[in-house]
Structures are given as C-alpha cells and as structure tokens.
C-alpha cells in the first residue's frame, strides 16, 4: 500500500483535488490517507484530516469511517474533500449524511467516486484478473456507474459541477467536453456539491 501513494500520479491527483479550493476557511479531508492534498491548498485553509491511517498533522484524527458517524459538531466545515473514499466504506450512505450534517450552510464538498463501468477500469481488472467484488479491507465495497453515482449524491446534495479525472497528463489531451460525451472513458468522477 505504501508504494502506491508515493507516486508522481498521487501528487498530480492531489493537486487536481486542491484546484477546487480557492478561498479561506476550515477544510476536512475525509479518508485523505497521508494528506497529500494539503501541500497544494492555499495557506488560508485550516486543514483537518480524518483517516484510519495515523497522520502527523495538527488537526488529524485517526478514525474508522465504518463507525457510521463523523466525530465533529454540526456545521463545522467550509469545505469537505471525500476523494476515493466512499467506495471503501461499508456504510457510504451514512457517511454522506454525516458530510451533510457537518457542512456549514454555504459549504462546498468535493466528492469523487470511481466509474466502475469505465473502459480503463475494465481493462485493468481483466489484466489483473480481479473479481468485481473483493472483500479485503482496503478494497471497494461499493460499485458505481456515473449515473448511479449522481443518483447516490443527489439524495443529499445539489451537484453544481462535475469533472472527470484520468490523470492530469491524459486530461490535457482529452477535453472534458469530449469525456462527458463518452463517459465510458472516465475512470473517476469528481462532483462539487452543496447542501440541498
């Protein structure tokens, strides 16, 4: 697991995630692992992180997200990042409700969900001969298409922006407008959401 997160690609992805945050305020990074995104955030952001992994950050909590709640008061955060996390949780609906609860009234959340029907993901699974359901602790417990991801999020939030992520190098060659026309190319979708 260590090696996977020490790549240039994980840092490019963290920079992509941070590009959604452009102001000051209090931010919670849910399932942020080692907090790679922090290095790309504006200095005016008060960074908090919660993950099963123990972090070195001042405002970090080591916590099992499968407990169905987040240990923060109502209306605590201006920004929430939940990238590549919900599909690993046993109870993602409860985590979404908790995200909604701890968001300030005008807060923004950036939530990413993999598109398990994407051609790149199907190719990787075929090469690795990976079963669609894997019960290992850090594996995906939930699987989404882009449509089911939207439906899942729209139960609690209004989606105000969508972005596909294929790695920054790939995104520089394929315009997002084309990716939206051919959603089967998008392995990960980022949703910028606000409270309903």
Is the predicted pLDDT of residue 1 greater than 50, yes or no? no
Domains, the chain, in order of start with CATH, read 3-195 (3.40.50.150)
pLDDT for 125 equals 67
At 131, is the pLDDT very low, low, confident or very high (cuts 50, 70, 90)? low
Tell me which residue of 112, 2, 17 sits closest to 27, measured CA to CA.
Answer: 17
The pLDDT, as a whole number, for residue 36 is: 93
Contacts of 23 (CB under 8 A, 6+ apart): 42, 44, 78
Range 153-179 average pLDDT: 75
Strand-strand pairing, 60-62 and 77-83: unpaired
Tens digits of residue pLDDT in 21-53: 988 999 999 999 899 999 999 999 999 999 998
Section 99-116 average pLDDT: 94
- pLDDT value at position 23? 86
Which residue, 144, 180, 147, is CA-closest to 165? 180
Q: Which residue has the higher pLDDT, 97 or 144?
A: 97
pLDDT at 121 over 80: no
Report the mean per-residue pLDDT for the chain: 84
CA distance 161 to 7: 28
pLDDT computed for residue 140 by the predictor = 67
Answer yes or no: is pLDDT of 142 > 90: no
């Amino acid at each position: 697991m260590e090696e996977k997160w020490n790549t240039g690609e994980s840092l490019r992805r963290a920079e992509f995630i941070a590009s959604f945050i452009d102001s000051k305020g209090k931010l919670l990074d849910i399932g942020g692992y080692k907090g790679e995104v922090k290095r790309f955030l504006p200095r005016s952001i008060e960074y908090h992180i919660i993950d099963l992994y123990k972090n070195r950050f001042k405002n970090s909590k080591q916590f099992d997200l499968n407990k169905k709640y987040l240990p923060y008061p109502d209306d605590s955060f201006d920004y929430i990042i939940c990238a590549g996390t919900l599909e690993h949780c046993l109870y993602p609906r409860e985590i979404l409700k908790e995200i909604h609860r701890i968001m300030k009234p005008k807060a923004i959340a950036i939530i990413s969900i993999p598109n398990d029907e994407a051609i790149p993901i199907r190719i990787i699974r075929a090469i690795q001969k990976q079963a669609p359901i894997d019960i290992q602790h850090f594996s995906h417990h939930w699987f989404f298409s882009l449509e089911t991801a939207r439906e899942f999020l729209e139960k609690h939030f209004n989606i105000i922006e969508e972005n596909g992520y294929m790695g920054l190098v790939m995104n520089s060659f394929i315009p997002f407008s084309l990716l939206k026309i051919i959603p089967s190319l998008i392995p990960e979708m980022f949703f910028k959401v606000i409270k309903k």
